[in-house]
Every structure is written in structure tokens, then in C-alpha cells.
Amino acid sequence: MSRTTTRTVLVTGGTSGIGRAVAARFAADGAEVHLTGRQPDAVERAARELGVRGAVCDATDPVATAALATRFDTLDVLVNAAGGLPASPATGTPLGDLLAAWQAGLAQNLLGAVLTTEAVRGALAPGGSVISLGSIGAERRGGAYGAAKAALAAWSAAAR
């Protein structure tokens, strides 16, 4: 029997990239996996192909994350994999557009993890794990992406 046989795992951003690979690995190890994504077709396809459960959820939406959390009595592992590399505004971008780009980058790469973690905190099993995917961009890349990933690392360390 695999050590993850009875574990319930939630993977945000589980429809593609690293999130999908994480969901596939936990599923292969026998965990009950739930994945999320923003696009209904992508969620349905990934859930079907991996043999897991899927839910449409924008991790940056507090109402959606709160609704997602109600699905779980007990959650053993949360993997915050939702995120991405937003386009960097060019020098000279109007300040309003610059603000919008930064807010979107911070929401996508930091706040989604914060909201999801806080929404499911009450369902986390004793000894449960929260894994938030970081990036070397926190140290080497400027802009909203690097700032968000650096903040995610700091928040994750403080939230232990």
C-alpha cells in the first residue's frame, strides 16, 4: 500500500504545467486528488485524463475559494501551484496600466495561494502540509512576478 493511499490532496492550478504533474504524481501514488483551474474545459479534461476530481475555481476570487473549501471535511495536502508569468509592462507604461499589471501579477502569484490556504486551513488534518510553489524568479527576476514569489516565500515561512 502506498503511503498516500488515504490522503486527500488539493492542487490549485492543476490543469497544466507543474500543477498537473503534481496532481498526476499524487494520483499515481493513490491519493484522492482534487485539482482546480479557471477554465471549465481544461478542468474537465485534466480531471478525466488523470482520473481525479476537478473544480473550476479562480484562486484569486475570495468567494470562489471559500466555496471550494466547503468541499473538504479533511484535507491532508494543499499544493498551491496556480500562478504564471505575467507580461511585464514596458518602460513608460501609463501608471494606471502599470498598477493593473502589478495587481494582476501579485494576485495570480501570491494572493491566490494566501486565499486558498486560509480558506482551507480549518480542514487541514493535524500534520497536514501546505506546499506553495516558488520560483528562482524571487531572487533573480524583477517586476511583479519576482516580487510576488519573494512575498510568497516570506508569507509561507511566517504561516508555518
How many angstroms separate the Cα of 6 from the Cα of each of 52, 74, 78, 92, 142?
Answer: 14, 11, 14, 53, 41
How many angstroms separate the Cα of 59 from the Cα of each of 11, 51, 142?
Answer: 11, 22, 23
Annotated catalytic sites, by residue?
145
The whole-angstrom separation of Cα 68 and Cα 139 is 32
Q: Write the single-letter amino acid at 44.
A: E
The whole-angstrom separation of Cα 131 and Cα 84 is 16
**Sequential DSSP letters for 74-103:** -EEEEEE-----PPPPPTT--HHHHHHHHH
Locate cell 486558498: which residue? 116
